Amino acid sequence: MPKGKPAGVRCVQLGEDLRCLIFGQPERPAVCGQLQANAEMCGKLADGGKHARLYLARLEKLTAPD
């Protein structure tokens, strides 16, 4: 996404399995690599990533332009 990913828009590099299609590739945006997961973000591993997805959705909402 040349001009960045707008809040609330699914990343074009996100696969059907919710994994980054360009993880580890040089074209992966720096901001993606700078996001450091932590316990607050990830929650319990047994929830299949639901907590993390809700956390990231909240971050997008909080940082969306007015």
Residue 25 to residue 56: CA distance in whole angstroms = 22
Best CA proximity match to 27, nearest among 42, 11, 39, 38: 11
Rounded CA separation 12/62 (Å): 21
66: pLDDT strictly greater than 90: no
pTM exceeds cut of 0.85: no
Residue extents of the structural domains in the chain: 37-63
Q: Which two tokens stand for residue 33?
A: 């690599």
Output the pLDDT for position 3.
Answer: 81
* Model pLDDT for residues 9-65, shown as the tens digit of each residue: 889 999 998 889 999 999 999 988 898 888 899 887 788 888 888 998 898 889 888
